Chain A
Amino acid sequence: MGHPKDERTLQPDNGAPPPSSVDEQNLSSASTGGQAQKSPTVQETIDHQRELLAKPLSVKLQDNIDVIRQLYADCSDVIIHEFDIRNGPAAVIVYIDGMVDIKDIDTQLLMRLQHDGTSGDRSKEAIVHCVTISAMLEVDCIKDAVDKIGYGNVVLLADGITSALIYALSFQELRSIEEPQAETVVRGPREGFVESLRVNTSLLRRRLHTPTLKTKPFFIGRYSKTATVIVYIEGIADPALVQEMESRLSVIDVDGMLDTSLIEEWVEDNPLSPFPQLMSTERPDVVTSHLLEGRIAVLADGSPVALVAPAPLLSMMQSPEDFYQRSLVATGIRWLRMLFSFIAVFMPSFYVAVLSYHQEMIPTSLLLTIAQSREQIPFPALVEALLMEITFEALREAGIRLPRQVGSAVSIVGALVIGQAAISAGIVSSPMVMVVAVTAVSSFLIPNYSLGIAIRFIRFPIMLCAGALGLYGIVLSALVVLIHLMTLRTFGVPYLSPLAPLLTSELKDTLMRTKSTHMDTRPHFTGSFYNRIRMRVDLYKARRNN
């Protein structure tokens, strides 16, 4: 198991990076002061670990057991079970309690070896023959064996054999597959990824029954050794894109990788931008459809979120539901979504600019109403807007963080804060409450959560510009955002493609969602590798014309 490239990550730096001299000093001074026995320095500990790990498996069983015992010293959950194979050599099995299926160990491994035995044969083949477990691997050094133990395998060592036998009997307590709560649909599949990589890849396999669906493994993190895979369809995805992702993943050298969002930060093109440059989704159907369009996905163990690259802005404005509803309706909803994402960005700043600088734009009767409601408000429009928008953001954040039991209390108080109470207290005007409410609703129309956050975030600087320079400030800041979006790239693909640069042949699935029979060509990202035709429509058309 393991790809040649990840050898480096797996190599013996099983410890933290070399310690600085300051650390060493602190450690030694602390130890000399407090304890009688001098504890080893960081460097000594790490060197010892590396030395143990680098050892090959010895012929003598007792040596191997000693090394493993030293490595797993103070690990209460590791079980090292020594026994004798009937009519055979002495042996030991090592596994981590809670990660393996103990019943299987008893029936398939121990019962076979201790009851049936190898009838005098001491060779490896005899032992392999005796055990009735198909998922078996052989490794011949301590480090590999320890890695396998860490992944929940059972390692069998026997006297006189210089390789360890690895039996995959891992068993995990998992969350069941359920509908992802952040990406619900009315029509369409309700499966979501879980925290196990194997389950997630099997969810994809269940949708793409083809050997061309590739899952290239990587191991990221010195301590966590998180199994990560690049998923793509050979023949559709550009090999250069896969290579690019491989090279970006291979430079990640960290202690631990807890979630794919950390991978995202390492591989994206511009880490300073507020906009997400990889798409994150919990839905296997979304990943599948992107794989079929020639994109690639990254899945990691322990994370229910898959990353999809390349991800231009407009692909993140799509909801899976667009493809499960009728195309005309879906196009309408998509326009609604885009309109409201503009409102989410510009509505508060437009309100501020118009009230502070361009009152003549408001029809007279409306202006009178607004003036009346603002009569007793002590703040200028900008302060009022900032106050309300920040309060709303705080309430939104509180709603996510607070425990369920308190949540309802917060929503009641929140409704009062951004609502009638605030108005009657004379702190904000009622049109402002309207503006905040509309903005709040519209920012949640964006299907991609991280894009939604980005859009909510950029409206604050725009509000300040509007307060300083009116509409002129809004137009300028909008242009700055636009220029930023135009210069962004996601894996070599311009972020605003196919709008800028304009690719008319690829507009079928951006501003509108055409009939699926019209989307007969795949999108083209970069490079010369382009598998163009994705469906055969001539038969369909012939039938329609008859």
Chain B
Amino acid sequence: MLEKGRISAAQFSILAGMSVLATSLLTAPGIVAIDAKQDMWISPIWISSAGFILVWTLYKLNQAYPDQTLVEYAVSILGRFAGKTVAALYLVFVIFATANVLRQFTDFIKLTFLLTTPDFVISGCMLLVCWLVARSGIETVARLPMLLLPLVTLFVLMIYTPSIADIRFERLTPVMEKGAVPSLIGAFRLLSWMPAFSIMNFYMPYLNNRKHLLYWSLGSVVVVTLTLSVTFVIVYTVIGAAVVNYTYPFMILARYISFTEFFEHLESIVMMIWVIQIVIRISFGLYGAALGMAQCFGLTGYKPMVPPICMLILLFSLWGIENAQFVSSPSMVVYYTLFGMMLPFLLLVVYGIRQLFAESDSPGYPEGETSA
């Protein structure tokens, strides 16, 4: 095995949850609100079903191949050539998705704080830190979110709590004015975040208490859904229909706060939350991609793969993405769904079919694992 470290199910779910929340908290409200309007808080609830299916798929695959990542069991399921091809395509997806996150982050910092700093300085510094995390091994990747969770929660509450006074719940009515369709379109746009859960597969083999895996992973989806919903409710009830006009409504929320004349302009806190979250998100993807790449090419260690993947991420984040809105464009959503959700699901289906045929052929197949 390339990794000797072990992580707990709790660390695992916090890592996954914070990674998915990373960019969605800041940019999602503006994007979802375009179609969903006052129903935007329902969209995360719709999309959570996709999250549940994805997590369940990964869980089933992990039960079938407890010590393997997607890159490895793709070969076991599809055979050597097709398996390696699918694995390589999946790795490109992981790298691209991570680069996309980096780009969103760089744009945010450039637009709001460091107006004259070149793009690659911002993304390069960020990648240096992520490189440090990823090369320190899975234990560090998984412990970092756990350690920072209280801090991030505190910061988020610091933004939410003062805005309670400005909440107007009547802005949420009428609920489902035009039926479920607007919120479903919003949910569709959210699809560019949920597939990040699929990167979980790189971490699942290294859990030390695997029997809690399903509960903790599903719990992670639930927490992500609720956090998104609550954020959407607060953002919409405070800002109202104007949400659509802002790229970063969460930031507007922070700017809005004036507490005893002293706590004003908490934008810097939003930035701190975001830097922490993005470090977690990128190292989540970076470590997964490096490990997968090493497994795909049969290397003896994943660490040599980290710097080249860092460079690829930097490159992808500057190339081919015109602006941050690109994230929620239909072509991106389809691409994300195809690789982040359909691919694991298809693998499970093929595995199931093979299992059906294998049962009649060889009784020695490891079915004890799957029936559990």
Contacts and interface: CB of A to CB of B under 8 A. Distances in A.
A471 B143 CA distance: 23
Nearest to A496: B147
Nearest to A473: B125
A339 interface: no
A413 to B, nearest CB: 38
A358 B147 CA distance: 27
Interface in A330-369: 357-358, 360-361, 363
A472 B143 contact: no
B271 interface: yes
Nearest to A365: B261
Give the bracket for the number of chain A residues in contact with chain B.
20 to 34
B146 A502 contact: yes
A517 B129 CA distance: 43
A363 B262 contact: yes
B109 interface: yes
Contacts of A358: 113, 268
Interface string B123-140: 001101100110011011
B310 to A, nearest CB: 15
Contacts of B264: 361, 363
Contact of A483 (B114, B136, B275): B136
A224 to B, nearest CB: 38
Contact of A475 (B11, B262, B272): B272
B173 interface: no
A264 B276 CA distance: 34
B265 A475 contact: no
B129 A483 contact: yes
Contacts of A360: 265, 267
Given A363-B261, A476-B125, A486 B136 contact: yes
Interface size class of B (residues with CB under 8 A): 20 to 34
A478 to B, nearest CB: 9
B133 A483 contact: yes
A480 B129 contact: yes
Nearest to A471: B268
A304 interface: no
Interface in B147-170: 147-148
A499 B140 CA distance: 13
A487 interface: yes
Contacts of B117: 469
A473 B114 CA distance: 11
B143 A500 contact: yes
B275 A500 contact: no
A482 interface: yes
Contact of B122 (A472, A486, A496): A472
Interface string A484-510: 101100000000100111100000000
Contacts of A499: 147
Contacts of B276: 475, 479
A215 to B, nearest CB: 36
A361 B200 CA distance: 38
Q: Which of A476, A479, A480, A499 has the most CB of B within 10 A?
A: A479
Nearest to A486: B140
Contact of A487 (B11, B136, B272, B279): B136
B113 A471 contact: yes
B77 interface: no
Interface in A424-477: 469-473, 475-476
A360 B265 CA distance: 7
B136 A476 contact: no
Interface in B75-114: 109, 113-114
A176 B160 CA distance: 61
Contacts of A480: 129, 132
Nearest to B263: A363
A357 B144 contact: no
A479 B11 CA distance: 18
A463 B272 CA distance: 17
A482 B132 contact: no
B144 A483 contact: yes
Contacts of B268: 358, 361, 471
Interface centre among B117, B126, B268 (most CB of A within 10 A): B268
Contacts of B122: 469, 472
Nearest to B283: A483
B125 A361 contact: no
A336 B172 CA distance: 44
A469 B121 CA distance: 9
Contact of B114 (A357, A479, A484): A357
B143 A486 contact: yes
B133 to A, nearest CB: 6
A482 B148 CA distance: 10
B232 to A, nearest CB: 26
B97 to A, nearest CB: 22
Contacts of B272: 471, 475
Contacts of B121: 469
Contacts of A363: 261-262, 264
Interface in A284-302: none
B265 A483 contact: no
Contacts of B109: 472
B144 A482 contact: yes
Contacts of B128: 476
B140 A357 contact: no
A203 B319 CA distance: 68
A358 B121 CA distance: 19
Nearest to B264: A363
Contact of A472 (B139, B144, B262, B271): B271
Nearest to B267: A360
A360 B113 CA distance: 11
Given A486-B140, A501-B143, A476 B129 contact: yes
Given A480-B129, A483-B144, A500-B146, 8 more contacts: A361-B265, A363-B261, A472-B109, A472-B275, A476-B129, A476-B279, A479-B279, A486-B140
16 contacts: A357-B114, A361-B264, A363-B262, A469-B125, A471-B113, A472-B109, A472-B125, A472-B275, A475-B275, A479-B275, A479-B276, A483-B140, A487-B140, A500-B143, A500-B144, A500-B147
Interface of A: 357-358, 360-361, 363, 469-473, 475-476, 479-480, 482-484, 486-487, 496, 499-502
8 A-B pairs with least C-beta separation: A500-B143, A475-B275, A487-B136, A500-B147, A360-B265, A483-B132, A486-B140, A471-B268
